Amino acid sequence: MNLEKVVFGFFVVLAATLNFGFFLGDIDNPALHNPYELFAAVVVNLIATVLKFGDRTQIGAVHLATSLVADLQLIGAALVFGYAEYVSTAGMNPSWTASVVSLSGGALLANIVSIVLLVVETVSFHRG
Amino acid sequence: MGNPLLAFWENLFRRDDDQRRIRRDTFRVAATSAAQASATIFLILRRMRAPLIVLIVIFSVSVLGLTVIPGEDAEGRPWDMGFFDAFYVMSYTATTIGFGEIPYPFTYNQRMWVTISIYLTVVGWAYAIGSLLALFQDRAFRSALALQHFSRKVARLREPFLLIAGYGRTGELLAHSFDRLGRRFVVLDLSDERIDGLELASYRADVPGLAADARDPGHLAVAGLGHTCCEAVVALTDDEEANLAIVMAAALLRPELPVIARVTSRTIAERMQAFGSPSTVNAFDRFGDHLRLALRAPSSFQLLTWLESGPGAEVPSRGLPPRSGRWIVCGYGRLGREVTADLRAEGMDVTVIEDRPVDVDGADLLVGDGSDPWVMAQADLDQAVGLVAGTDNDTTNLSLVAAARRSNPSLFLAARQNRPDNAPLFAAMEVDALLVPTEVVAHEVYAQLSTPLLWRFLRDMPALGDAWARELVDRLTGVCGTHLQELWKVRLTPQEAPALDGWLASGTAQLGTLLRNPDDRDDSLHLVTLLVLRGGEATLAPGDDFVLRPGDELLLAGWPAARRALAMILVVDGVLEYVVTGRRVPSSWIWRRLRPAAEANG
């Protein structure tokens, strides 16, 4: 067992699960989407991205690309969240909530691709 | 009429298989080298993982703490800090900017947490920034960056360039001569200092330089061996094996490129000949040849050294070496061997002084240290006509020359200078012939590469004899003065000399008629025609009545103004008409329309 692989898999999967947890629930109901969960998703996604730095293989490059997409989407969601809370006069109404959740939904897709890559890598390793 | 677009297309895509293979090979070699560079960058990224993760974790823990700890607003009501406020506070705190307690004064709970986070985050930042700076200082990282920068610069070159491997004294001399000609070059050298020196050398053009081992074909490929604009490779390192490796790489990857290598031993020269036909330059061999030429034809030698020195060189004085008598050669190393053989081939007696018994192949041998006065006395300097101080020690050579001159002031003195720093001493000594191996090699390579016509001229010139050479030197000094001006080539093709087309075909195109001043045709241009090449046949220093034909190539020496004037004659129709016939022809379209009418009326 390789400790580096454990840590890598842990963060990739945790990033996806946190993201999924935030995404789950009615898209326009702010009560069902916890900001702490979004914060945790952003942080874990950033860590997963840094862990993917410096891998020269083709699959490593795609891994990094999906992570960067997820970061972009989640940070976008966090910015929209902040704008709705502090700047917008309407506050966190259903339409803002829908924007935030849909952005995090995009990130979830990228995270799922990441997990698929992880699984593919593992399976092909066992066969080879 | 052929379709020009079609022709362009053909030019663009018509490449035979051979060329394609070569391009693929060199590309592959260059790619390996580039991959090495990017591997270093991946390693650097990998090393940044830990500091970045530490920073992210510290930051997120601090931000999370601030949002969780209960606070109060200005009126003392309970208030929880949002993520945005927390992130804002931590950002300016962590970077030690410190705007204070925003938006409301903190409670003691919050202050305790912020105190802890200040220490945590500052440590995190310091760790991350420190690691980043350490990486930028990293030698491997810097050389990887330099390699990438260099290969980008070389790939962007769009004019013919020369690949110089080895930038020692010889490379520097050659580079300066080429720079004066306005030619581009790329430099490879093992030493960082020499490559740094490139920036201080004040070249006119930007010179891409890389500190790398030229024995590695990957580095050669990155330096432009596979580049379509690379016109020649010059191997000038002071390591024979490295030069051989460069010749091998060039011959195998780009067989059609001319290669010139510096050698000091015949064995290596022969090993190089196994790879295509590289041109090898052996400084000691060339010095021996030059000495022979100087003995036989002093004026030819004078012309040769002058033209080889490049633009701006002063005319060397014409030495008068003794044509018969006994010579003394001190030091029987690589130089002594060559010189002794050459002198004996010219029918001279030679006495060799060497401090160990060697086989001198029939010449007189005196075993002993040449700088020892007692040994010198035995050599009978009074009876000798010339002395060659050819050891590899400058101090010994200088003292030999000084001692020899004291005992016989009329001796012809030849000395070898090994270190460039000693140049002023040898200049003050005023020896009759000075060998500086680095300069000999640089001049020779320059002559071979600057224009192929000059090389042809220098090879054919000695056969024409001393009197002819003396006359040409007089003509050159008459036209150019004591400093060599420009040396250039003109090709009389429809592309380069469009105005001459009809006139050349008429068969009455005399050289003397062409080289006239376009402002006043009674003056001839201030230039000398050194050589006319037609097909494979060369005519050296043709007279004014020489008849030119289309396709001739001319090698000319003269003033820059004459070069510009000649360029105008070759391109502008009216100027040629005036120079040949004396009639002024209007150059604008309207005046040409009006002119025939005016002539008819007048």
- Please report the pLDDT score of residue B7 as a whole number: 47
Quote the pLDDT of residue B24. 67
Element (H, E) at B185: strand B184-189
Alpha carbon of A56: minimum distance to chain B alpha carbons (Å): 7
Q: Does domain B485-596 have CATH number 3.30.70.1450?
A: yes
Q: Which CATH architecture has domain B142-277?
A: 3-Layer(aba) Sandwich (3.40)
CA distance B124 to B51: 7
Give pLDDT, residue B55: 93
What span, in angstroms and rounded, lies between the C-alpha atoms of A20 and B483? 83
The DSSP 8-state label assigned to residue B238 in this structure reads S
- Where in chain B are the domains? 49-137, 142-277, 288-450, 485-596
Please tell me which residue of chain B has the smallest CA distance to A82.
B84
Q: Do residues B219 and B33 make contact, with C-beta atoms less than 8 angstroms apart?
A: yes
- pLDDT given at position B235: 93
Local structure of B492: helix, strand or coil: coil
Instruction: Count Cβ atoms below 10 Å from residue B48 Cβ, excluding itself.
Output: 17
Q: In angstroms, rounded to a whole number, what is the distance separating the alpha carbons of residues A9 and A119?
A: 10
B52 and chain A in contact, CB less than 8 A? yes
Tell if the pTM clears 0.80, that is, is over it: no
Return the half-sphere exposure (C-beta side, CA atoms, 13 A cut-off) of residue B472: 29
Q: Which residues of A78-91 are buried (b: 16+ CB within 10 A; e: fewer)?
A: bebbbebbeeeeee
d(CA B135, CA B564): 54
The answer to whether the CB atoms of B52 and A50 lie below 8 A apart is yes
In this structure, the strands spanning B364-367 and B386-389 are unpaired
pLDDT at B22: 61
Task: Look at residue B16 in the predicted model and tell me its pLDDT.
Answer: 52
- Spatial contact of B237 and B265, defined as CB atoms under 8 Å apart: no
The residue of B56, B79, B80, B89 whose CB has the most chain A CBs within 10 angstroms, and thus the best one to mutate to test that interface, is B56
* Cβ distance of A54 and B45 shorter than 8 Å: yes
* Below-70 pLDDT ranges, chain B: 1-37, 587, 596-602
- Cβ-in-10-Å burial (0-12, 13-18, 19+) of B53 comes to buried
- From residue B404, alpha-carbon distances to B169, B373, B385, B386, B454 in Å are 30, 10, 11, 9, 38
pLDDT 10s digits, A87-115: 989 888 999 999 999 999 999 999 999 99
Say which of A53, A55, A56 has its CB closest to residue B48. A53
In A, residues 37-56, which contact B (CB 8 Å cutoff)? 39, 43, 46-47, 50-51, 53-56
Do the Cβ atoms of A46 and B56 come within 8 Å? yes
Q: Which residue in A51, A55, A85 is closest to B84 by CB distance?
A: A85
- ipTM confidence score: 0.86
Element (H, E) at B279: strand B279-282
C-alpha–C-alpha distance, residues B581 and A63, integer Å: 79
Q: Where are the beta strands (DSSP E) in B17-115?
A: 70-72, 78-80
Which of B43, B61, B81, B84 to probe by mutation at the A interface, max A CB count within 10 Å?
Answer: B84
CB contact under 8 A, B56 and A39: no
Residue among B43, B44, B64 minimizing CB distance to A39: B64
Do B142-277 and B485-596 have matching folds?
A: no
Closest-CA residue of B relative to A55 is: B42
pLDDT of residue B599: 53
Q: Which residues of B touch A61 (CB under 8 A)?
A: none
Contact A18, A38 (CB under 8 A): no
The CATH T-level fold of domain B49-137 is Helix Hairpins (1.10.287)
* pLDDT for position B596: 65
Question: Which chain B residue has the Cα nearest residue A87?
Answer: B84
Q: How far is B101 from chain A (nearest CA, A)?
A: 18
Q: How far apart are CA B364 and CA B383, in angstroms?
A: 14
Kind and range of the H or E run holding B530? strand B527-534
pLDDT for position A118: 92
Fold of domain B288-450: Rossmann fold (3.40.50)
List, in order, residues 6 or more apart from B449 with CB less than 8 Å away.
Answer: B162, B178, B232, B234, B258, B260
Query: Following DSSP, what letter does each residue of B303-352 receive, concatenated?
Result: HHHHHHT-TTPBPPP-----SSSEEEEE--SHHHHHHHHHHHHTT-EEEE
Contacts of A53 in chain B (CB under 8 A): 45-46, 48-49, 52
| The pLDDT of residue B465 | 84
State whether residue A100 sits within 8 Å of chain B by CB: no
Determine the 3-state secondary structure of B207 from DSSP. coil
Chain A residue with Cα closest to B60: A43
Which of B42, B57, B84 faces A56 most closely, judged by CB atoms?
A: B42
- Show Cβ contacts of residue A87 under 8 Å, excluding neighbours closer than 6 positions: none
User: Taking the domains of chain A in order of start, what are their residue ranges?
Assistant: 3-127
Summarize pLDDT for A30-73 with one digit per residue, the tens: 999 999 999 999 999 999 999 998 887 888 889 999 999 999 99
pLDDT of B1: 38
